[in-house]
Amino acid sequence: METPISPPPQPLEEEDAGTTDTTPPTVGRGIGPDEIDDITTESTAFAHAEPSQDDSGPPKIDSEKEILHEKVTKQIIKEGRGQTPTKFATCFLHYRAWVEKTLHKFEDTWQEQRPIELIIGKEKKQMAGLGVGAASMRSGERALLRVGWELGYGEEGSFSFPNVPPLADLLYEVELIGFDEVKEGKARSDMTVEERIGAADRRKMDGNALFKEEKLEEAMQQYEMAIAYMGDDFMFQLFGKFRDMALAVKNPCHLNMAACLIKLTRYEEAIGQCSIVLTEDENNVKALFRRGKARAELGQTDAAREDFEKAKKIAPQDKAIARELRLIAEHEKAVYQKQKELYKGIFGPRPEPKPKRSWPLRFWQWLVSIFYYLLRFRKQKAE
């Protein structure tokens, strides 16, 4: 890899998607450049068709089957927008892949949170069928592809990772996150460090603009493409100022993804995005706060409190953090009272304790009972 020595063409400063004004932040209003208060779920009303769950197999859909190639068919799960990519366009994809015959899932980029890059017309041999499908898709489109073995892993299959048997027809659930045309850029592997960071930063800025327009799905697509430029292989090679520059773009994209996901009530995914940031920066207050919010929404009260308390140690004066801790305390108190009433209804009121009688009284009662018994005995004998 060529090591650049010149600075990037423009500063890459953190700009979180939650920023809604240009007023300098003050203690208690939020954490960092954005407003934490913007991340709410009470008034959220966004529809989203989520990918099928990991273990449920390929999605079952009724849409019309389109023949793209003799060995490739497509069924649309969710419509996209705009144009389809042209030859040599750089596409960013998420997909799950199964062997059609056994339904063995051998790859899942959603689970790994790593979208892949695919250049139309320059795909690896085993991804030729995937390339045919991607070339027919629009940004944001999700589809089910059936790919014959000839355009997949071929006659020999793969005995490494992924593990695919010989002559295996494949099923792909694919989402085209977005694409760059040839005139806009080039393959990541051909870019210098500054070019990759600059391309990612432009995507981040586009995502922020879409976030402010409440176009959350489109914003997340831009953030995911930005993150794709900052892949693990790339980050592993960076150190010093170049790594700091890359993280200054990558981490805000993960945090902004989390902000979108919280608004879309996709809390598990939001937790994952925040956790990625915390592996790089364990004291990132925004990541702690947003992960705490998502955990609280899922009812993971202890874990949420732990995140908020750690964030409070770092930003002790922040009112948003204090408010969340107060809400957790109030929630736990309400739950306790509810359980107390429930148990009271089940077992009823506690019986009043019977007063203990003294031994002289018990002795006197015993004598009376003996006397009564003797009287009855004598009366019966007389009769």
**Which of 152, 183, 214 is the last residue in one of the domains?**
183
Q: Cα(240)–Cα(340) distance, rounded to whole angstroms?
A: 57
Q: Are residues 142 and 193 in the same domain?
A: no
Q: What is the reported pLDDT for 167?
A: 95
Q: Determine, yes or no, domain membership for 352.
A: no
Q: With H, G, I as helix, E, B as strand and everything else as coil, classify residue 288.
A: helix
**Which of 143, 168, 183 is the last residue in one of the domains?**
183
CB 14 within 8 A of CB 252: yes
Q: Determine, yes or no, domain membership for 272.
A: yes
CATH of the domain at 325: 1.25.40.10
Q: DSSP letters of 123-141?
A: --GGGHHHHHHHHT--BT-
Q: Are residues 191 and 315 in the same domain?
A: yes
The tokens for 315 are 């930003």
**Which of 292, 309, 330 is the last residue in one of the domains?**
330
Q: Are residues 324 and 191 in the same domain?
A: yes
- Residue 147 forms beta bridges with which residues? 72, 170
Q: Are residues 145 and 160 in the same domain?
A: yes
Q: Are residues 111 and 208 in the same domain?
A: no
CATH of the domain at 74: 3.10.50.40
Q: What is the reported pLDDT for 373?
A: 74
Q: Are residues 209 and 127 in the same domain?
A: no
Q: Are residues 240 and 175 in the same domain?
A: no
Q: Are residues 171 and 206 in the same domain?
A: no
What one-character DSSP code corresponds to residue 151?
G
Q: Determine, yes or no, domain membership for 20.
A: no
Q: Determine, yes or no, domain membership for 12.
A: no
Q: DSSP letters of 315-360?
A: STT-HHHHHHHHHHHHHHHHHHHHHHHHHHHHH-SPPPPPPPPPHH
Cis peptide before 33 (omega within 30 of 0): no
**pTM score, two decimals?**
0.62
Q: What is the reported pLDDT for 6?
A: 35
The domain total for the chain is: 2
Which value, in Å, is the radius of gyration of the alpha carbons in the chain? 33
Q: What is the reported pLDDT for 355?
A: 60
Q: Are residues 218 and 231 in the same domain?
A: yes
Residues spanned by the domain of 118: 59-183
Residue-level pLDDT, tens digit, the chain, 383 residues: 333 333 333 333 344 544 333 333 333 333 333 433 333 322 222 233 345 445 578 998 888 999 999 999 999 999 998 899 988 888 889 999 999 999 999 999 888 777 888 888 888 899 999 999 999 999 889 999 999 999 999 999 998 888 999 999 999 999 999 888 754 446 677 788 888 899 899 989 999 999 999 999 889 988 988 888 887 778 888 888 899 999 999 999 999 999 999 999 999 999 999 999 999 899 999 999 999 999 999 999 999 999 999 999 999 999 999 999 999 999 888 887 877 777 765 655 666 666 655 667 777 777 777 777 777 777 776 66
Q: Are residues 222 and 204 in the same domain?
A: yes
CB 46 within 8 A of CB 211: no
Q: Determine, yes or no, domain membership for 31.
A: no
Q: Determine, yes or no, domain membership for 89.
A: yes
200: Cα separation from own chain's centroid: 21
Q: Determine, yes or no, domain membership for 369.
A: no
Q: What are the start-end ranges of the H helices in the chain?
A: 109-112, 128-135, 193-212, 216-229, 232-236, 240-263, 267-280, 285-297, 301-314, 319-347, 359-382
Q: Cα(363)–Cα(97) distance, rounded to whole angstroms?
A: 88
Q: What is the reported pLDDT for 78?
A: 92
Q: What is the reported pLDDT for 88?
A: 85
Which strand (E) or helix (H) includes residue 117? strand 116-119
Q: Determine, yes or no, domain membership for 48.
A: no
Q: Cα(123)–Cα(43) distance, rounded to whole angstroms?
A: 43
Q: Are residues 199 and 260 in the same domain?
A: yes
Q: What is the reported pLDDT for 357?
A: 58
Q: Are residues 194 and 296 in the same domain?
A: yes
Q: Cα(260)–Cα(290) distance, rounded to whole angstroms?
A: 11
